Structure 1
Amino acid sequence: MNIAFFLTPKNEVIYEYLDATMRQVIERMEHHGYTAVPLIDKDGKYMGTLTEGDLLWKLKNTPDLNFKNSENIRVKDIQRKRKHKSVSINSDVESLISLATSQNFVPVVDDEGIFIGIIKRSDIINYCYSEMKKKKIV
């Protein structure tokens, strides 16, 4: 099976650019109810994932930082605690599942490292469950 079957394309995904402000990211994450967002550079390359935890650590470790002045902090200046790995659109399902066990979503890139979308862990689980139901395993 090709992992493209599970792909949520970039145009349906909330992501942020590295030059966005901390405040912009907080507001978008709150609005959409997300706990993490993929980050891309101006050329569209996947650069990592920013999580709520990363934002909280930045707030904790920056004296005098508050929501109002968080508009002065760029996403690229926020340290990320974990490296969320991406997969190539040409990767096999085993590579995808290996990453999905520890990430809520797996960013997908093309051969040039350009971000093309995500694969949500929930979509993989739902697919597996429906296949098990068809075979009457559950």
Structure 2
Amino acid sequence: MEISFFLLPKDEVAFIVSSASMQEAIEQLEFHHYTALPVIDNEGKYVGTLSEGDMLWKLKNTSGLSFDNLQQVPVHEIKKRIYNECVSINAQMEDMLALAADQNFVPVVDDDRTFLGIIRRKDIIEYYTKNITD
């Protein structure tokens, strides 16, 4: 089965632009009750996933950084501890299994790496659970 069937499109997904501030990223995470967000550049290309942990490490390891000046730190300056792989919209569900084991969601891109949306691990698990039990 093609993954496009499971795609949660970009306009329904919380994401952050790499030029946004660390403050904006924290507010997005808090508002949506997420632990990570896809990061796209100004051209709409997927560049990585920003996690709560990435921001905590940035806060801990940056002298003088506090909750009062987070707006001065752009997201692209925050080191990502783990690179979450993305998949092509042309991928098959089988291609998703290994990624879904390690990621809460899998970013989906087109052939130019333009961010199209995500597939949630929950949806992948539900798909396979249903097919195993049927």
If the length of structure 1 is used for normalisation, what is the TM-score?
A: 0.94
Q: d(CA) in 1 for partners of 2:10 and 2:97?
A: 20
- Structure-to-structure mapping, 1:39-118, within 5 angstroms: 39-118=39-118
Query: Aligned-pair distance for 1:92?
Result: 1.9
Query: Aligned-pair distance for 1:28?
Result: 1.0
- Unaligned 5+ segments in structure 1 are none
Q: d(CA) in 1 for partners of 2:126 and 2:99?
A: 17
How big is the alpha-carbon RMSD for the aligned residues of Structure 1 and Structure 2?
0.9
Partner of 1:122, secondary structure, is: helix
Q: d(CA) in 2 for partners of 1:6 and 1:46?
A: 18
Higher alpha-carbon Rg: 1
Counterpart residue number, 1:31: 31
Query: Aligned-pair distance for 1:40?
Result: 0.4
Q: How many residues align?
A: 134
Query: Aligned-pair distance for 1:132?
Result: 3.5
Counterpart residue number, 2:129: 129
Letter in 2 for 1:32: H
Counterpart residue number, 1:18: 18
Partner of 2:79, secondary structure, is: coil
Q: d(CA) in 1 for partners of 2:97 and 2:86?
A: 12
- Unaligned 5+ segments in structure 2 are none
Query: Aligned-pair distance for 1:93?
Result: 1.7
Partner of 2:37, secondary structure, is: strand
Q: d(CA) in 2 for partners of 1:71 and 1:46?
A: 22
Deviations 1:71-92 (A, max 9, x none): 1000000000111110000112
Query: Aligned-pair distance for 1:127?
Result: 1.9
